[in-house]
Structure 1
């Protein structure tokens, strides 16, 4: 499990670094102006589908079915299931893409109702959203191939594919950077082109895995119906985080101009640990739990879940505290350049701290969800998801007037805490989750080590942050990076000193790797 988590995490980290490069360029060229707001809203719908299907509902429904078919009936039957699902998806998603293009003005009234007060921004958002619509089909088909590769225990290509999204968008900005409107249009076209590139890469990886797919005539076979039945409710259960972000965007469009961009930049930084840790653990854990449950190993599944939780806490607690303490220098170093001024970057810093409060809950929800999905239960997470989304909406409406732009991230964090807590409680009641003394003790030690790190950063930040705010972009990023490195050192040494880390998991992973190398050697 550790090797697979590391594989997904490393590639995801590389993609996030490229994503930061992309966002720094967007901030410098578009700032928080109308073109940036329009593009970020145009990006919300395909991103929602990408995260729901790539990291959530589709994986929750398809990967257990694919893994079970592979284990019980062999590769040919697993291939047939993937082909049947793919052919139905092509028809359905092509229909959705066409509907999206034709009725995009109506969609825009739902996605960003506040844009209606600015006809120019509204028209640009509609135009950009139409250009990104084909990405829906491309990325969902990519999700199917990624799920099949994960089911085959081939995680690298699926984790590396999202890098192409950032590479293509960076190239678009490099070619069309002279005019904000042309830049935003180039970005929208780049989104769709990146979907084509990702699909091509994953199709090649499937061919190399000996499971190239064809598209038979679409039919609702029993396997397809089973996947669809699980996927429907799983959209809310696995994608509650993304639905909450969508609610934030709707509320942000009703707030003063630039709020959509302010929250986008903050969420992008928050997504670095969330995507790297949460997606890595969730992606690697679901196939493992599915196999263990298929073989009737409930005790092993509970032990795997406990280890995944301990691993998540060891990474997310220090990340959350570091983002809260260093929000201001991080956002100023990354985004206070070009068209984005210091005031807007400062607002993004406050929003980042609010998002970071819910970071551990966001990641734990991604860890708990596979505990339901591996057992074929998508209904329980959907009930919790519905309540969490309703709570987020209610808090957004209550906080938008007194707190302004700070309301959406706080509402999202509070709803994430509820979501993770409810999932944990219901798993425990069903006897699928038994937090033992080792997990509780390790969690407390991780919290103590992270607290010492936060205290060190509080003392050091005033010495570094002012200089970083006045430095050139590269110098500012270097100074903040040095501060983060010191924090990591304090946390790592402190954690080792008090036994906060599960070193047995690391030793087992290294031993398994040595065995695999020995088996491959002549």
Structure 2
């Protein structure tokens, strides 16, 4: 039987927000850790060079372009649309009707993506100039500009691949299937890691601009784009498995339902586009420091790992349920879903912030390997990680608030918040040019991210408060429990940080001891957090019973 004619049983099998969040957390953590690993591998192979800056920045442009065109808002628009379409279907084949709508939306999105990829190729000289303008030597700057143009041309088609992947991910989330959607980006990361491995075997590591050949650029550009294609293929497979295969149809202009969805996507461009623009600006500013792009991207990668464990997981799991509550005009259910999502986000992000603050130095030592294991790089990365630890906590609140606004189809407030964030980020980022080259300039860029997320979180909470009145904005009792549990982590985290700092990490054995201390005391701190939360919520006997059952199954 064609999957499009099967009865829709997804709603009855939809996992709870808690279970869905855990699933997304686990698989997204795998994806984000491999993403962090790929940045580490690129840095270890290419070293703190202007060429590394050029490749990392240029290879980020397609993803930033996709983010600007649709990116994270694609799921925030598509998931509610799919949920509403399935819920409103009255015919014999609800999946077929939804698939027809999706095919038209896909046709629209791929048309926009193809145009964006072409525009990216045309704009490659200007983009390359922005990335290389900070190089002081004219000859090196000119050659770096040429190489960056080539990289952008080879990676521009990635915009289409990311769009296909985003559509497939949204379809799976709407149908309550999270594992493959969250894990698929790891395939892209493994592909790029393999590309860097081949590069290291064929070419000498740590080459800078004047020694880079066209063959090197070809290998990196084609390998990176092929990796995105593998990621997109996995998401296409996942969409097909849940009964809504990705197909392309024309006619999005003549269909009222599709027109409404595409209109909402267009009106949401600012929400995704402005953060992407500000991020590219900060990458260009980081490129003024040799190795600065690696430091900034490595810090952002760790930031994304923590965000994936918290806000991203909650957003993916909670959005379908929030959309159903809005569709049924059940404000009490919507408010409860918001408070639950906020609590889950804080539960994941607050202890993560504390642990990264405590162990920023050892984490920097893990990230900076090979040609990047220099005292300056380690100091820069340690400082950036400390700032990003706080920023990811603010980001968790911002992301969940934005998700809640999109579930209500409230794009206008989300647009306003993104506009304010753009102004804050670019303003603070530009001011960082006044700071000395090196640590202080990079810290200024990280501070731009932190302040932008903090402002967005405050504005997001204000918007949700207005939307859910007279419902309560937060569960103060639950947040109080989380604050006390985080305080309970402090002794273990402080002792672990003190012991780790006393280890000589300049040699392999000392570095391994340092990592072991961080893992052991980090685990002990998390155990304290879990036990205190369980005690305060009355779940401790149940938790201890489960532990005893695991240890003593007989």
Say yes or no: does 1:419 pair with 2:456. yes
> Who is 1:171 aligned against?
194
Q: Deviation digits for residues 239-264 of structure 1, max 9, x if unmatched?
A: 665444333213323x3333222211
Say yes or no: does 1:302 pair with 2:354. no
Instruction: Supply the RMSD in Å over aligned alpha carbons.
Output: 2.8
Are the structure 2 counterparts of residues 501 and 495 from structure 1 closer, same or farther at C-alpha, using a change threshold of 3 Å? farther
Q: Structure 1 residue 193: deviation in Å? A: 0.7
> Who is 1:479 aligned against?
514
Alignment of 1:28-177 (within 5 A): 28-51=44-67, 56-73=72-89, 74-110=94-130, 113-114=133-134, 118-177=141-200
Gapped regions of structure 2 (runs ≥ 5): 1-16, 543-554
Q: Distance in 1 between matches of 2:299 and 2:169?
A: 28
> Who is 1:515 aligned against?
none
Q: Structure 1 residue 233: deviation in Å? A: 3.3
Contact 2:41–2:196, Cα closer than 8 Å, also in 1: yes
Q: Structure 1 residue 398: deviation in Å? A: 2.7
Gapped regions of structure 1 (runs ≥ 5): 508-522
Q: Distance in 1 between matches of 2:361 and 2:69?
A: 33
Mean alpha-carbon deviation: is it higher for 31-40 or for 456-465? 456-465
Are the structure 2 counterparts of residues 63 and 479 from structure 1 closer, same or farther at C-alpha, using a change threshold of 3 Å? same
Q: Deviation digits for residues 360-382 of structure 1, max 9, x if unmatched?
A: 11111111111110111111111
Mean alpha-carbon deviation: is it higher for 317-326 or for 133-142? 317-326
Are the structure 2 counterparts of residues 475 and 140 from structure 1 closer, same or farther at C-alpha, using a change threshold of 3 Å? farther
> Who is 1:192 aligned against?
225
Are the structure 2 counterparts of residues 124 and 478 from structure 1 closer, same or farther at C-alpha, using a change threshold of 3 Å? farther
Say yes or no: does 1:17 pair with 2:37. no
Q: Distance in 2 between matches of 1:433 and 1:166?
A: 45
Are the structure 2 counterparts of residues 497 and 62 from structure 1 closer, same or farther at C-alpha, using a change threshold of 3 Å? closer
Q: Distance in 2 between matches of 1:22 and 1:82?
A: 33
Q: Distance in 1 between matches of 2:457 and 2:370?
A: 37
Q: Deviation digits for residues 6-43 of structure 1, max 9, x if unmatched?
A: 11111111112222332222121112212210111112
Contact 2:36–2:298, Cα closer than 8 Å, also in 1: no
Larger radius of gyration: 2
> Who is 2:444 aligned against?
407
Q: Distance in 1 between matches of 2:65 and 2:513?
A: 35
Q: SS of 2:247's equivalent?
A: coil
> Who is 2:545 aligned against?
none
Contact 1:388–1:419, Cα closer than 8 Å, also in 2: yes
Q: Distance in 2 between matches of 1:390 and 1:25?
A: 33
Q: Distance in 2 between matches of 1:108 and 1:382?
A: 29
Contact 2:68–2:269, Cα closer than 8 Å, also in 1: yes
Superposition TM-score, scaled by structure 1 size: 0.89
Mean alpha-carbon deviation: is it higher for 455-464 or for 189-198? 455-464
Q: Distance in 2 between matches of 1:364 and 1:104?
A: 35
Mean alpha-carbon deviation: is it higher for 222-231 or for 211-220? 211-220
Are the structure 2 counterparts of residues 432 and 149 from structure 1 closer, same or farther at C-alpha, using a change threshold of 3 Å? farther
Are the structure 2 counterparts of residues 257 and 497 from structure 1 closer, same or farther at C-alpha, using a change threshold of 3 Å? closer
Are the structure 2 counterparts of residues 497 and 100 from structure 1 closer, same or farther at C-alpha, using a change threshold of 3 Å? closer
Superposition TM-score, scaled by structure 2 size: 0.84
Q: Structure 1 residue 102: deviation in Å? A: 2.8
Contact 2:150–2:217, Cα closer than 8 Å, also in 1: no
Contact 1:263–1:351, Cα closer than 8 Å, also in 2: yes
Q: Structure 1 residue 304: deviation in Å? A: 1.1
Q: Which of 270, 280, 286 is equivalent to 1:252?
A: 286
What is the aligned residue count? 505
Contact 2:398–2:457, Cα closer than 8 Å, also in 1: yes
Q: Distance in 1 between matches of 2:95 and 2:343?
A: 34
> Who is 1:327 aligned against?
360
Q: Structure 1 residue 406: deviation in Å? A: 1.1
Contact 2:398–2:456, Cα closer than 8 Å, also in 1: yes
Q: Distance in 2 between matches of 1:290 and 1:86?
A: 21
